[in-house]
Amino acid sequence: MQNTLITDDRVVTGILLVLVAVVFYTSQKQHKYWKLFYTIFPSLLLCYLLPALFNSFNIISAETSGTYTFAKDYALPVALVLLTLSIDMKGIRQLGSKSIIMFLAGTLGVVIGGPIAMGVFKFISPETVGGEGADATWRGLSTIAGSWIGGGANQAAMLEIYGYDQQKYGAMVLVDIVVANIWMAVLLFGIGRSAKIDKWLNADTSAIEELKVRVEENFKDKVRNPSLTDLMIILGFGFGATALSHFLGAKLVEIISQTESLKDSVINSHFFWVVVLATTFGLILSYTKARNYEGAGASKIGGVMIYFLVATIGMKMNIFEIFKYPGLFFVGLLWMAIHASVMILVAKLIRAPFFFLAVGSKANIGGAASAPIVASAFHPSLAPVGVLLAVLGYALGTYGAIVCAEIMSKLAG
């Protein structure tokens, strides 16, 4: 890997925020060329792709920067608290069962997609999916299944359970990241065209639209120009709940790790508990007067945190890396295409909005770091839907990945 030009996180952070600021500034321009440009490339997608280009040309790099870790540990839980603070739980419940169905369709797409992709490549390129013992490709693919249904903890669990050669594990991680990021870009691109997609799906979006309107109506009379006190209190809610989430999460992991049967489970993960606790604290605040701080811009501050997280995630993608492992890369692409096809088919059958397709998919492939981003891109009030589904993904990740791996092992013979 070439030397990265800028490794100072103080500079990297500034670059990422300037890129996001430029995107927001130009997206508000009324000139017809800018309007056309952002019709094709939504602003959220640009906030993701520009850092990816900077990474690809070795200007900045996630490998030499701690900004993603910072964003994941601080910006994400703060955003979850502030975006959940104004949630209408009654409205969430009224979204119905389609969100769960689409999430499970996403899980099914991953479980069957791996074996199908492996079977196809066993026929057209046996060496790509071959190997014996610890070198067997199916063992490595099991780690991708864990990541794509649950997350990093599930991925690590699959690595331990199936004993894949750790010296070759990096290639699987690369396929996981690159293919998942390409799919993320496709979904962000689709969000800008969600109305047309919903029309094609013949989807019923009434419950989603009603929730958006109700949230806006609830706070219309409470909107105010925030004072310095308001902003300080909002930040106090966000960072205070985040601090408490980290503190309690560490204590829970300390207790759980002492139980032998739970050591390899997803609940023995600090990040898992931070996400769950931050969301829980946000929900608790939504039943108090703290909810009124939405009128002072709580969700807008949460949105700032989300967009910074998007930029740091984008910085993890190197566009040129896709050419290093063409065989495995195409296995991953076919696998993802099967996942997407299952999602589209089920969405068409049950008339599910694109919102449920996108969030259900990212709750599997991306988890709590991505699902709230995609959900909040539709409307800030919908971010908790992404979190709740992502937590479900953590719970099912190991089980679904084991089923997928066992089928692939049978195909490998």
pLDDT tens-digit profile of 102-118?
989 999 999 999 999 99
Considering 122-131, 162-171, 320-329, 374-383, the range whose residues carry the highest mean pLDDT is 122-131
pLDDT class of 15 with cuts at 50, 70, 90? very high
Asked if residue 1 has pLDDT above 50, the reply is no
pLDDT digits (tens, 9 = 90+) for 361-405: 988 887 766 788 788 888 776 777 787 777 677 667 768 888 898
pLDDT exceeds cutoff 50 at 78: yes
Candidate ranges 78-82, 293-297, 338-342, 378-382; pick with highest mean pLDDT = 338-342
d(CA 368, CA 363) in angstroms, rounded, equals 7
Residue 18 predicted with pLDDT over 50 = yes
3-class state of residue 199 by DSSP: helix
Output DSSP code: residue 127: G
Distance, in Å, from the CA atom of 212 to the CA atom of 266, rounded to the nearest integer, reads: 33
Secondary structure E strands in 218-257? none
Least confident of 143-152, 338-347, 367-376: 367-376
Region of poorest pLDDT, from 69-73, 201-205, 349-353, 389-393: 389-393
Distances from the Cα of 40 to the Cα of 33, 54, 176, 231, 342, angstroms:
11, 21, 27, 35, 26
User: Whole-number mean pLDDT of the chain?
Assistant: 84
Amino acid at 85: L
Q: Does position 21 have pLDDT exceeding 90, yes or no?
A: yes
**Residue 268: pLDDT above 60?**
yes
- Eight-class DSSP state of 268: S
Mean pLDDT of all residues in 348-369 = 86
Whole-number Å distance between alpha carbons of 290 and 136 = 54
**Residue-wise pLDDT tens digits, 205-226:** 887 877 777 766 766 667 789 9
Helix (H, G, I), strand (E, B) or coil at 27: helix
Phi then psi for residue 379, to 5 deg, are -175, 135
Choose among 344, 351, 359, 343: nearest CA to 391: 359
